[in-house]
Amino acid sequence: MPRLAVIAESAAHETRVAATPETVKKFIAQGLEVVVEAGAGKRASFSDADYEGAGARLAPDAASALAGADILLKVRAVTSQEASHLAQGAYVAALLNPFGERETLEVLAGRGVCAFSMEFVPRITRAQAMDVLSSQANLAGYRAVIEAAEVYGRAFPMMMTAAGAIAPAKVFVMGAGVAGLQAIATARRLGAVVTATDVRPAAKEQVESLGAKFVAVEDEEFRAAETAAGYAKPMSAEYQAKQALLVSEHIKKQDIVITTALIPGRPAPRLVSEAQVLSMRQGSVLVDLAVEQGGNVEGVNPGEVTRLGGATIIGLYNLPGRVAADASALYARNLHAFAGLLFNKDGALSPDLEDEILKAALVARDGAVCHPSLLTA
């Protein structure tokens, strides 16, 4: 019987867990033995009793949980100490941060582990249920607005009272991907006047469908700024200057700015300069969702809430982890769907590593780091 291990996350700011009682029950129904480290789900509001009730066996520590494990599911990258307890030939699936934590991959490869980085799961129809980036970005976009609302010293919606009217908050979302669209939707639900920008022309329709106004220099270059595959084309210096001027003038009038731009394997692009922050009105708020990759906002401090001029910059780590129970539930379902690919049609733990999803996510096997993007990085 294959053994699947789930251990507590060791990162200080990580509150999520890689399996929930719901997915543990599903794994057991599929014929797996599931071992969960005691306390693994505590920060996500899942008790040890919940796991035992689902059929898992509790282990007192990570080493005990990993002993004899065929599969390890995690949220964050595996530490060297954790890797030392893995058997050769074991399978690991986690958010391994392959570009930022290359040493971890080397350690896993050295242990003879077959490791999959969930960041590399392709965005194809077949893999939608395994798309951890989208499931977590949705919650990050939602939580970004909640964090901004907590710091912002005024109400979000327009209010009409006997004492006079309260103007609605003005929210500007930079980047209309999964996180950005959820931030727009959440801010709209709270009653804010929302605007958004993105380098992809196709994003305009998505933004406007949520009731927000799209902000961009919409000239001929912009209308041709997307490849057939849906990616943004590099823009000319002239266009960038015009767009920067438009954004600068727009930011001055905003109460809240939320930035969401990330580029896999590269530092986050700088979207908001210090001068633009300083131009904002007293009491304004910026939330930087890209802080773990360097940040979109000049002056952001990773893991902190800071002041610059009259504005507050929120650079908190792991916004999905601030909705830990729901983030864990979605992530665990993603992993459950992915782990199903590790078994053949007869139910044996014998994955086809040429499967397009597994092949795309595979980062280490046969004692070596193997992903093409990591070999050329």
* Residues involved in catalysis: 123, 128, 131, 134, 231
Structure tokens at 187: 């801010």
**Packing angle, helices 178-189 and 132-151, rounded to 10:** 40
What is the number of alpha carbons within 13 Å of residue 185 lying toward its C-beta? 15
Structure tokens at 65: 């949980």
How is 68-110 classified by DSSP, letter by letter? T-SEEE-SSPPPHHHHTTPPTT-EEEE---TTT-HHHHHHHHH
- Tell me if 374 sits within 8 A of 368, measured CB to CB: no
- Tell me if 207 sits within 8 A of 176, measured CB to CB: yes
Beta strand 91-94 with 114-117 is: parallel
What gap in Å lies between CA 251 and CA 273, rounded to an integer? 11
State how far Cα 292 lies from the chain centre: 10
| CB neighbours of residue 282 within 10 Å | 8
Query: For the chain, how long is the longest CA-to-CA vector?
Result: 73
